[in-house]
Chain A
Amino acid sequence: MSSDRDTTGEQAPADLAFDALADPVRRQILSVLSETDELSAGGLAERITTVGRTAVSTHLRVLRVAGLVTERRSGRYRYYAIDSRGAAADVIALLRSLFQGSLRDARSAAERHDSAGTPREDVG
């Protein structure tokens, strides 16, 4: 686990989080990471095709310093995950639970109305 989150400096990680989130490639990296537990640098670079491997590394460093992702080293590999303590994890978790909840409602609504409902006429 990376331990270089410095909360004593002038710019706390939370302050940096929005800057980090303001870049489209970094948002893409977070989108990819939000669907897995962790991913190696190589695995990430394969999924992010809009920029090269070096650029992905640079973006990962920004995300790490901002406290949005964690880095784990194992031998010569580095693995990245969304930092569960960071703002990105908070926002992603919020949105995921928001939309997941809406689907739960969808399921129960559809199942509840299965026998009672009649299809609408304006559906083509």
Chain B
Amino acid sequence: MGALAITVEDLAAVPPEVVFDRFGTGDDGGWLFGAVCDRLAVGAVVTLQAPVGGGPPVEMLGRISDLRRPVAVTIEHDQPWRGRIRLRFDRAPGGTRIRLHAEIDERGLEWVMRRRGLPVRERVATGPRLGVLTSRSGPGSLFAAAVANVAGLAVDEVNGDGGVDGGQVELLLADDATDPGTGALEALRLARAGCSTIVLMTTSATYDAVAAALAGHDVLVILANMNEGGGESRLRIRLGERPHTQLALAAGPLMRAAGGRRWFLAGNAYVWPRTVHAVARSVLPQHGGVLVGERFAPLGTRDFTPVIEAVRASGADVVLNTFVGADSAAFERQAHAMGLRERTVSLGPAMDEATLERIGPAAAEGIHAVSGYFQLLQTERNGSLLERYRARFGRWAPPLSTLSESMFEAIQVWATAARRARTTAPGPVADEIRRGRFDVPRGTIALDGDDAPVGQQLHVVATDGTRFVPVHVP
């Protein structure tokens, strides 16, 4: 408890059964912010389009945690804040009384106030401050749904273990809204608030904007998730998978799964997809692949018809899907709906469990991914992490994936390095990160002389429903 509670009600001139059964259905989504869910069942994912404070609607991502026909639906959501919406339907004269009860906690209030442009003062620091910048809204909110959870878990565990530099680490969270300009402004805010390190789980476009905006500031910027690399300097570190390694490993298995070697490259129009495509143009032919087409669409696209028709016309066997987040989910759903899956398989270097569950089991068939982590990874450290994650956030919390889990690892790496350096000063911490080897859930990771991650074993995985299972790589 301790959340701000909002209760509203309305009357509908139809029986409760009708109100209940219309939930999550309809041409433009169902009622309650155009709720979309493929199945009305406990555990099913739901997306609400909430018009919060002007601008485009904000996607509230959650799942159904309770369902009693025709009296109640409960949704637990993780984006843009963690909260619960309870709906009750009571028979009333002339129809149904619909009652909605929503709870919003401190972090949620902070998010709403910032979105409304209300000033939110940082409180006085109580220990070393660590900034976390991720996507709580915009297309990236989908892949980042678990990031706030794992960041909180990682910091609490660091603090439970005695903290860093003689103090309890204070976590400051910010939302880039999947927009580089917003990300830069929020990073500057975190820097002003005293964060000597800011860890990002965002697109590379936001990373580039943040890296530039913080030039001249004594702040270490760490990008946790997969990226194209480049532009390294003492206070800029990028962990995560690199496209060359991903594609070199996955090229063969994908062509075997497809029974063909023709590749089509399709992705969002920004730096990471463009770089992945450039890498693909050199790596795939080395493995016998033939490139038959390429298309880009801006981040936020929801109709991929021209791309899908171009793929179909090209006769491709494999689609390299470099769309991200909600765009990737929408692309794969539409590719399936338009029958593309009957002739192609897809490889998504940024495809992850959070995106996959939004694609749904029917459209997920034939999708492959390649990364250093997936949720079912059988390591002792991962098994233990999953237990702690579920114990704390419950069974309805979003899945971990190579994207969100990378935040947990980056914080562990930062804390370990700061302890070894005996300071949270950015330079010494960065040097210690480059010097060290770190035992994290995906394995033991380190950076090589060119600042590229080494020692990270990658896995090619294919879908089994909305789970990933490993593909044998000879």
Contact = CB atoms under 8 A, between A and B. Distances in A.
B351 to A, nearest CB: 26
Given A100-B10, A103-B10, A120-B40, A95 B121 contact: no
A114 B16 CA distance: 11
Nearest to A95: B6
A78 B100 CA distance: 31
Given A91-B112, A94-B52, A105-B32, A18 B100 contact: no
How many chain A residues sit at the interface, stated as a range, is 35 or more
**Which of A28, A94, A110, A124 has most chain B Cβ within 10 Å?**
A110
Contacts of A99: 6, 8, 85, 100, 102
B13 to A, nearest CB: 5
A14 interface: yes
B112 A95 contact: yes
B102 A110 contact: no
**Which of A11, A28, A91, A96 has most chain B Cβ within 10 Å?**
A91
Interface string A103-119: 11111111101100101
B287 to A, nearest CB: 43
Contacts of B120: 17-18
Interface stretch (A1-9, A29-37, A52-60, A69-77): A29-37
Main secondary structure of the interface of A (DSSP, over half): helix
Contacts of B52: 94, 98
Contacts of B48: 102
Nearest to A31: B5
Nearest to A50: B1
Contacts of A17: 113, 118-120
A67 B69 CA distance: 43
Given A11-B121, A31-B5, A92-B6, A98 B51 contact: yes
A121 to B, nearest CB: 10
Interface string B1-33: 111111111111110011111100110001111
Contact of B14 (A30, A92, A102, A114): A114
Contact of A18 (B2, B20, B26, B113): B113
A47 to B, nearest CB: 12
B150 interface: no
Nearest to B110: A18
B311 interface: no
A35 B7 CA distance: 8
A95 B6 CA distance: 7
Contacts of A101: 51
Given A94-B112, A107-B10, A124-B69, A31 B4 contact: yes
B104 interface: yes
A122 B67 CA distance: 12
A91 B118 CA distance: 9
Contacts of B96: 110
Contacts of B18: 110, 113-114, 117
Given A28-B1, A113-B26, 4 more contacts: A90-B116, A91-B112, A106-B12, A110-B19
11 contacts: A19-B123, A21-B109, A31-B6, A35-B7, A98-B51, A99-B8, A101-B51, A102-B100, A103-B100, A110-B12, A124-B69
